[in-house]
Structure 1
Amino acid sequence: MTSRLFALIPCAGTGSRSGAPMPKQYRTVAGRPLLHFTLAAFDACSEFAQTLVVLAPDDTHFDARRFSGLRFAVRRCGGATRQASVMNGLAALAEFGAAADDWVLVHDAARPGITPALIRSLVAALKDDPVGGIMALPVADTLKRMDAARGGHIARTEPRDGLWQAQTPQMFRIGMLREAIERAQHDGHDLTDEASAIEWLGHAPRLVQGSLRNFKVTYPEDFELVDAILRHSPAG
């Protein structure tokens, strides 16, 4: 039996660093809610069995009418951390027939620059991989280690050879990812991405070249940048 593809969009964060009066995923960019562009990219990939958005139970900003025409489901099962939201989302995917051997692509709601082409490039690279992997970019900038004890001065320059900046989607088998998060939780570790949990099990996820346009909207100035990208750059 061929493994199926599912997408999981954790959308329970408050976006406290963005400076917005509402969670950043609902702020308007290029004429639509930021979340719209994320969902539209997965909607354009008909090979996905289901896209599931995980909301906080008390989310009062989500309005399904703003995303009409897009194929996705919603569950209000978000947790206090990203790790908890993903774990709850994996459990909810079982409602849609997702099995342990099926693939799940976990993607940040606040990366609206994702495109169907990028999603498909990740799937093509990993569909026969025994572990899975993530979209990422080689680090291009010189890295400086700060000496906080000296008032923010540079302590040293760090070599960047072999360093990659993690992006999403991150693609793993549902069963393996669930086991990895359970192990991390049992060991008392709150990991910031899915690959970290897989690494915690002792596996080595694969790195797949991503794109600069797939950056995570985090700070106030990021909204103007992503607005320009989405208005003037095709998402195919």
Structure 2
Amino acid sequence: MQEDYRKFYSHHLGRDIEMLVYGNWGYPIVLFPTSMGHYYEYKDFGLTETARWFVETGKVKLYCIDSIDRDSWYAKHLHPGTRIWNHVLYDRFLHEEFVPSVQRECNVQKIGVSGASFGGYHALNFAFRHPEQVGHLLTMGAAFDIRSFLGGYYDENVYFNNPPDFLPNAQNNEFYHMNIVLGTSEYDFCKDSNYQLSGILSRKGIRHQLDVTPWGNHDWPVWKDQFPRYLSMI
């Protein structure tokens, strides 16, 4: 399985974002790491290996990118307003710089986004903020309400990056053309968050699948089982 290491310089962030890219061609899937994880995390835990057949047959092309969680949601040394602003800059990097480059490279109008745990938050938040760029959303063991990270601080940027807040009022026809899978498991401590998000989508008439793996918990064996199954739905 072809693996390429890349750096992508972001003008919004003023830094390089590192990544591993798997495959020569195929439908692009951007994978966001778990809490404070790095671009090589999915390789280290064997999740990219579960996608080997899809990559080697040219079905998908995986982009495992870095996060800036240590400078945003988990940067307890910074004021909450600064933390959320740093995430806004990360979103601008994705929306205006990185995703357009992936669209051009793969000659597609829309990409897929995915992630486990906090990576699932990143995937879903980006998908519903920018549905014109996302055709497939695949989350695994994610939670979606980020207010607990901010110690009671709240502003417009928090609202528009907290899906349980902004989604009920959001209107976009592209929501109804997205393939959405919310993956959780029976003993996942994030399960209730997935049921809550599923309820919001159902009330808006947005087609999606809530997939609950029996007996599983919030851990890599579940996500490694879910990821290739969800890729097969593309």
Q: Which TM class, normalised by the smaller chain length?
A: 0.3 to 0.5
- The structure richer in helix per residue is 2
- Relative to the length of structure 2, the TM-score reads 0.34
The structure that has the greater radius of gyration is 1
When normalised by structure 1's length, the TM-score is 0.34
Tell me: higher relative CO, structure 1 or 2? Use CA pairs within 8 A at least 6 residues apart: 1
